[in-house]
Amino acid sequence: MPPRATDARRAAVLGSPIAHSLSPVLHRAAYDALGLTDWSYGRFEIDEATLPGFIEKLGPEWAGLSLTMPLKRAVIPLLDEISETAASVDAVNTVVFTEDGRRIGDNTDIPGMVAALREHGIEQVDSAAILGAGATASSALAALARICTGEVVAYVRSEARAAEMRQWGERLDVDVRTADWDDAQEALKAPLVIATTPAGTTDALATAVPERPATLFDVLYDPWPTDLAARWSMFGGAVVSGLDLLVHQAVLQVEQMTGRSPAPLEAMRHAGEKALAAR
């Protein structure tokens, strides 16, 4: 094994845009709680074109990387190995560098979703609905493959997106039916609704929240709450937030990069809440 240039270890989040990322706040809070005083976690504006050069220049002090859009697929050809979880959705959000120089890719978004739901008492559902059909929706489908025993209905805006979601369903062995976005208010009656759309997209659905809603998992965290989440809570429904997801997937990243387990979930959540409140 090559000697490390220094005992200090480094990690960072890469993406574009990246200035909004809470990952540095969460990971640094974990390092503080774990007593890893010689660890640092940075943030770099990197796109698909600059990613290969960035990774090639990393020295032996680097422990790992967190990846956000648009790099989750672009990084795969640069890795030596990826996990089955990452391969299932063709997306890597975590890279760990081994001491012998190998680059190992994983996806902690999927188990992070499952863990966030479990924390709110959702171990299994007999059906679910997904709002949207982007990259996050495919991760949501992969999470539902682990906890949903029946049909998943995906509400989308185009036939092309509908076809993509049906293909993901076949690949992930999930029973997927697609429906038009114009009927998205029907999604709100499901035992579990996962909203994967950009900010503002679901605002118009807030007035359609049923009197006794079940569980909403809204992957957004800033701004928070969304109109839909606020209305859902007002009617007594359970709400899982994007911050819940962000913290749980970051916990898994910290454990993989540092080799320390369990990662300090509550310290990381508190740091994230404090940072969001300050924005």
Any idea which residues carry the catalytic annotation?
72
CA distances from 94 to 18, 50, 64, 65 (A): 15, 18, 7, 6
Specify the residue for token string 């998205």.
Answer: 184
Q: Are 231 and 204 in contact (CB under 8 A)?
A: no
- The sign of the torsion formed by the CA atoms of 167, 107, 45, 47 equals negative
Strand 94-97 and strand 62-67: the pairing is: antiparallel
Q: What is the CA radius of gyration of the chain?
A: 19
The token pair at 26 is: 């969460």
